[in-house]
Structure 1
Amino acid sequence: MSRIKYLLISLLVGFALQIQQVAYAQKVKITESFSNQSLDQILSTLSGKYNLKFAYDPVALNQISFTGQFRNDSPDKVLKQLLKDSGFEFIALNNVYVIKRAEKPIVEEKNKPIQGIVRDRISGEALPYASIRVVDNDLGATTNTDGFFTIPDVKSDSVSIEVRYLGFEPLQMRVARVQYNSKPIVVELDPKKFILADVEVVRNITSMLATGDRPGEMVFDTKKVGDIPGISGIDILAPLQLLPGVDGNTESLSGLMVRHSPADKNLISYDGFTIYHINHLFGAFSSLNSKAIKDVRLYRGGFDSRWGGRASSVIEITGKTGNENSVSVDAGTDQLAGDFTFEGPLGKHASFIVSARRSYTDFYRSPQFLNLFESAASDLMLSKQNFTAFGSDPDAPSYLFYDANAKVSVKPSNNDILSVSGYVGRDRLNFLQMVSSPFINENALWGNSGAGARWAKQWNSWLYQNFTIGISEFTSNYQHYDSTLKRRGMQPVYDTIVRNYATETGLNDISVNLNAQVTLSNQIILELGYQSNLVNSKSSENYYHAVNSLPVADTLRQNDFNSRVNTGWLQFNFKTNGLKSLVIGGRVSQHNLTDQYYVEPRVQMVISPTSKLDLKFAAGLYNQFINRIYLTGNGVRYLWVASDEKTFPVVKSKHFVTGLNYTSNGLTVDIEGYAKQTEGLSYVQTVIRRTSTNRFVEQSKIFYVDSRSFGVDVLVRKTWQNAEGWVSYSLSKAFNQSSTLNGGDEYYALDDHLHELKLVGLYKWRKWRVVGTWIFGTPKPWDELLLTPNLTLSPDYEKNSSRLEPYHRLDAGLSYLAKVSVSGELEVGVKVFNLYNRDNMLARPYTLTDTPVSDYLQGKSIIEYHDIYGYSITPTFFFNIKF
């Protein structure tokens, strides 16, 4: 009996206490105001200020936000309002408000997405094309240009995702499904670091290079461009020549050839505008500064419907938006130029970056500069006198270059990005040699400038939009005059040879792009867009060559055009188990000069039999309406022309790509076979003929050529804890054919070479870094003319039938990196281009001799070959500081 009494008393006391607690809770009156705060934060505030107890899942409630206010409201009323339409409910148990999912599902409750943005934890920069994978299933996504991603139709309340990006530590994290009006999840990645025994962070260590998710795609870590030995340590495009399928034997980025297509067939897109000229010092290195660039991707062929206007490849460059967390300064110098980069936040919602480089070459002529200049501008026939470094030698070349990048980005909301970016790169040359024959006067000013404005918005979990307006301007004014007195054999007679060459080009490009991405489900993404491109150009070329006032060559070309192309494009991206991606789409373009429509179907497919192996395929049609005509001489001498199907044809190309990619434990094997057919290429060919008055004249004619190339590109890459290396190998053939050349028979293209091998190795030990690259290429063709005694082409002549010597060179670098503050770094080092000083002959173009008539009468050849050699050994000492 006493035991029953005890139980009854206990129950009564407990009930009384509970009534008392409930009574206390009901007496509590809450007065608060909340603005877009998560429920997790709100409940934490209520618990601390009003002594209320809650039990809930913080991960789930952290993704639900609330905006509103309460005035003298009870806890029950507040909780009902907070949890309205959230799919959660509350009950009071033992003085604790337990918040749980509603037992009866809300009618509107469906599978909800995971929506977020991937950023650099240090700078706050959004990371484009990062890979996101849901652990333990086949769901996944890739961030867009602005770092946004969406994984729709997620059934679980929360899942684990894995995020990867080149040059950053991979991250696994638990995330919850989101409400449609909530903020995107922010995923922050840490840059990869190498930790020494004394716990000092030295530098990013591995993964300089990666293969992309699409056929033909290659990606470089822009922070590691300086690791590659070259003439310039901040050259963003030089590392591309170490990739399979990119010709590494040209030593000139003005001749960056991808899978045997001319350089102008590459689209170089920088923040929405097109760059037409990319190099300094006649092609010695590029004018694009890696310190201002966040991401660079090369699509070597078979690219999808997002891209158009070029027939070979795409180089997509995304500029940095600037450090969003703190101010950063980066400065560097070498024997040619100095550079400076300044970036930081502008308030809470904006950031900026300014980067500039200028050469010293107009007042300091280093041995490196004179070596490069004489090789790059060999047609100037520099005298062999020794110029002083700082002197005012009247015959020394006056040359300078500069480039600058700037960008301002504004984020008015978590889902909006507004940015304005600009770029300018210029070269200027003045050369006057009047002390001895030949007397030379050359003046040139050339370069590219551009600006882009873009607005990107993630409207909701399924719609992303990107609107871009780009403006680009290319100018080139080149004038060369030389006069030579040449003795006629042993006779006391001198001939006066005069050459006068001038080109003027002004090109303006305006482009408007509106693109959208619609995520229909986990399996289907729809991409579509509209593009309008207006190009206006005026150019002229004048070449005059005379002997004793008698013309040997007299060519005048003028072009004036307004080209307008309007394009609509559409593509579907499908993926299922085992099918990583199937992209089917196309472009439809209308060109005003031809008044025709052009249809370009495209397809890409990547199949993944296992998590380590991808099988890939791509095919498509590609049209190009603005093309470059290469002229004789250095890299400044070319003209841009528009296709009208009268004077110049539309360039049309067909791409077929197939291959595989295998990745496991730091090893990557990528193999791609390709076949490419291109028609409508325009080339300038020198024609020599004999007149009825027994004179010889040189004519520069334009010929229309079709080409075909095929080959296999192989990349084998391996990374270790403190080293990285890869082998690039290409086996390929390239042929040209024209009804008016070589009797109509097919002949070898000038860039044909059967084998090309590139070896790259990088090793880091403590604060030291050693890097080496070796390039080998089998001989390329050159056009050896075979003439009969009456100076007509011999029946034995075959165009481009002779071969140069094999090409090979070794580049090496050594550098030391030290910490100077918590976030500051100091780096010094030396890089050597062509370490064993190999004399590589790159080409053998020909012209008439200065005195063809007298040479003919003396039984000499009237043909003169101008051998073009690569750069000799070129050491570069550099210094860089960042804080």
Structure 2
Amino acid sequence: IIDMHTKNELKDQFFGGAGINLISGDVYGQFPLGDKMALQLSARRSLTDFFNTPTYNEFFDRAFQDSQIVEREGNFYFYDFTGKLLYDIGTNQKFRLSFININNALDYSELSRDNANATRSSLDQTNLSFGSSLDSKWTNRFKTYLNMYFTRYNLDARNIASDAQQQLFQNNQVKETGLKLNTNYGLNENLNWLNGYQLSETGITNGTNVTNPPFNSNIKGVVRTHSVFSEIGYTSPYRKLFAQLGVRLNYLQNPGNFEKVILEPRLNLNFRLSEAWKALVLGEFKSQATNQIIDLEQNFLGIEKRRWIISDGAQLPITQSKQGSIGINYDQPELYIGLEGFYKEVKGISTATQGFQNQDQFNGEIGKYDVKGIEFLINKKTDRYSIWTSYTYNLNNYTFEDIVPSRFPNNLDIRHTLTLAGTYDIGGLKLGLGLNYRSGKPFTEPLASDPIDESVFPNRINYDEPNDSRLLEYLRADASAIYGFELGSRAAATIGLSILNFTDRKNIFNTYYRLNATNEIEKVENVSLGLTPNVSFRVRF
């Protein structure tokens, strides 16, 4: 779980910082506006449209790999900025107002061996969000939390064919408005009762325009979700047991398509067996009425492009999942050991949302996947060093009744994942070293006996059983060094150097097949980052 958030407490003094690396630069700060108010601002911008660096070149080569390309050029940049107003109305009420704007832009052209003319593509992605919250403590036992937000996501994509006869424009826009109210009441020292209501309205537009032959499509959809939830939390005397038992009731409405009520129970049990040992039992049901279609076709130069769509209840049902886990851990200041077993089942998925690259083999079939496995983590640490290793075993399979065979490995069925890492402090210098290993992911090969279907036009590839082959294992070693030092009495700085894949090992992380201009099957292998250095400098005050 990744929990990312800005600071939420007032400070009576200004603080901030800035940094730069071989990809981007950023700056941030919090400015006091009196005793009860402060303003946070941050901004980041890429440097990639000003000059190329070894780091950018390595990422560029990783993103645009194609054995048929003889000449290419691209212009990529991104920027984002955020703001947050913190206002403490009183001792027991806190108001927060925030926004974020993210923009990514790519223009790219390439010249292949098969065609003397260049193909040009562009992608522009923006995200704008506003949110506000009011946190109130009415009594020592009763609290409320009110949150409102609006977010808009927009993706514009354009592709101009090499003969300039056809232009393809695509747009995907998502607008969502939401409101959430929580009430928290302490029944006694051991029991806490959480209740709430949540409303969200999500509108998604998908537009497509082709110049030759002329084609225009603009599909809009809306889904509204009303949710009520309740949860009881219990903490036993001496904190031997912590238990949460809750339920969420969702009413989903897609006008003209479906209305559905979904019940989602949740459970969290934490047993303290001794001062160091704890046992955990977790379980929950979830649902989702929006999905992403993953485009991996040759338009847009093979770049993975994800478009949001709304479930219609038929061709794309509401996705529903249930998951549970049980674990035990040993936690002491210098040693942590954790072992967890888990199971998850997700129903209502479509082959169109799973990123299959054997595209002609499927036609939007509906099915499910289930994953089960274990996770193990051990971490030994002192004041000077920290060493940890983790291992995960996954067994991840699809089930699609309309496909033969109906059960086969998931695209993300990576059976074994192992990580070894450590850090060591020498005065102001921190050294880090990491090793990442994972077994090969599955992929689908053409049918050896009859690889090309010439009975249709254009011809297409006949594929073997889905995900019946596997890539070689992935192995990457990384290293980093960070040196920190003071800049006077109120400022400090760090200089960092990192090297991804310092052995420069060639790792193939994806393989797919396509027909070239001469109607021959071409095997495309995507290779992970090679040796990739980066240098950073940060200052904080």
TM-score by length of 2: 0.90
In structure 1, which of residues 373, 384, 395 is the aligned counterpart of residue 60 of structure 2?
373
The C-alpha deviation readout for 1:20-43, integer Å capped at 9, x for no partner, is xxxxxxxxxxxxxxxxxxxxxxxx
The answer as to whether partners of 2:451 and 2:463 remain within 8 angstroms in 1 is no
- Aligned to 2:187, which of 520, 523, 529? 520
Partner of 2:456: none
- Matched to 2:220, the amino acid is D
CA distance in 1, matches of 2:509, 2:538: 33
Task: Please name the residue that 2:233 is paired with.
Answer: 573
**1:793-833 Cα distance to aligned partner (Å, 9 max, x none):** 99993210111010010111112111012221121121111
Query: Structure 1 pair 505/767, CA: closer, same or farther in 2 (3 Å)?
Result: same
Percent of aligned positions with the same letter in both sequences? 20
Q: Secondary structure at the match of 1:702?
A: coil
Q: Is it true that 1:821 corresponds to 2:500 in the alignment? A: no
2:45 is equivalent to residue 358 of structure 1: yes
* Alignment map for 1:671-690 (pairs within 5 Å): 671-684=339-352, 685=356
Select which of 265, 273, 295 maps to 1:601: 265
Counterpart of 2:11 (choices 302, 324, 333) is: 324
Match of 1:560 in 2: 220
Aligned residues of 1:630 and 1:683 also touching (Cα < 8 A): no
On the 8 A contact 1:321/1:353 being kept in 2, the answer is: no
| 1:710 Cα deviation from its structure 2 partner | 0.2
Provide closer, same or farther for how the CA distance between residues 881 and 317 of structure 1 changes in structure 2, counting only shifts above 3 A: closer
The equivalent residue for 1:746 is: 407
2:437 matched to which residue of 1?
776
> What SS class does the counterpart of residue 779 from structure 1 fall into?
coil
Which of the residues 449, 456, 462 maps onto 2:128? Answer: 449
Pairing 1:639–2:299 present: no
The DSSP-based 3-state class of the residue aligned with 2:250 is strand
1:625 aligns with 2:292: no
Quote the RMSD (CA, aligned, Å): 2.8
Structure 2 unpaired stretches of 5+: 454-459
Cα deviation for residue 483 of structure 1 reads 2.2
Given the alignment, which residue of 649, 653, 670 partners 2:317? 649
Matched with 1:734 is: 396
Q: 8 Å contact 2:145–2:181 — kept in the other structure?
A: yes
- 2:335 counterpart (657, 667, 684): 667
CA spacing shift, 1:752–1:846, aligned 2, 3 Å: same
Secondary structure of residue in 1 paired with 2:249: strand
Does 757-766 or 794-803 show the bigger shift? Answer: 794-803
Contact 1:788 1:794 in 2 (8 A): no
- Aligned mates of 1:721, 1:460 — CA distance in 2: 42
How many Å apart are 1:791 and its aligned residue?
A: 4.2
Q: Distance in 2 between matches of 1:781 and 1:366?
A: 34
Q: CA deviation at 1:869?
A: 1.6
Partner amino acid for 1:709? V
Larger C-alpha radius of gyration, 1 or 2?
1
Q: Is the 8 A contact 1:419 1:455 kept in 2?
A: yes
Q: 1:332-382: CA deviations, max 9, x gaps?
A: 111221111121311000112111011121121223212211212336976
- Specify which structure has the higher proportion of helix: 1
Q: Read off the aligned partner of 1:591 and give its amino acid letter.
A: L
Do the aligned partners of residues 645 and 796 (structure 1) sit closer, same or farther apart at CA in structure 2, a change above 3 Å counting?
closer
Q: In structure 2, what is the equivalent of residue 403 of structure 1?
A: 80
Q: Unpaired segments of 5 or more residues in structure 1?
A: 1-297, 299-314, 385-394, 485-496, 689-697, 853-861
Matches within 5 A, 1:394-473: 396-433=73-110, 437-473=116-152
* Corresponding letter in the other structure for 2:92: N
Q: Provide the C-alpha distance between the structure 2 equivalents of 1:522 and 1:735, rounded to a whole number of angstroms.
A: 45
Partner of 1:529: 196
* Alignment partners' CA distance in 2, 1:461 and 1:783: 60
Q: Show the counterpart of 1:110.
A: none
Work out whether residues 279 and 327 of structure 2, in 8 Å CA contact, stay in contact via their aligned partners in 1: yes
Query: Could you say what secondary structure the match of 2:90 adopts?
Result: coil
Question: Which of the numbers 711, 714, 723 marks the counterpart of 2:376?
Answer: 714
Instruction: Give yes or no for contact 2:497–2:536 (8 Å, CA) kept in 1.
Output: yes
| Aligned partners of 1:710 and 1:732 also within 8 Å | yes
The 8 Å contact of residues 294 and 304 in structure 2, kept in 1 or not, is answered as: no
How far apart, in 1, do the equivalents of 2:210 and 2:416 lie?
37
Deviation of 1:686 after TM superposition, in Å, equals 6.1
Residue 764 of structure 1 deviates from its aligned partner by 0.9
Match of 1:847 in 2: 514
Give the count of matched residue pairs: 522
**CA shift at 1:412, angstroms?**
1.5
Q: Is the 8 A contact 2:265 2:285 kept in 1?
A: yes
Alignment partners' CA distance in 2, 1:618 and 1:602: 8
Distance in 1 between residues matched to 2:159 and 2:81, nearest whole Å: 28
SS, match of residue 610 in structure 1: coil
CA–CA distance in structure 1, aligned partners of residues 167 and 357 of structure 2: 17
Aligned residues of 2:451 and 2:462 also touching (Cα < 8 A): no
Bigger strand fraction: 2
Partner of 1:211: none
Give, in whole Å, the separation in 1 of the partners of 2:135 and 2:67.
48
CA distance in 1, matches of 2:490, 2:402: 63
Give the Cα separation in 1 of the matches to 2:106 and 2:246.
47
Decide whether the 8 Å contact of 2:452 with 2:462 is kept in 1. no
1:202-250 C-alpha deviation (Å, 9 max, x unpaired): xxxxxxxxxxxxxxxxxxxxxxxxxxxxxxxxxxxxxxxxxxxxxxxxx
SS at match of 2:364: strand
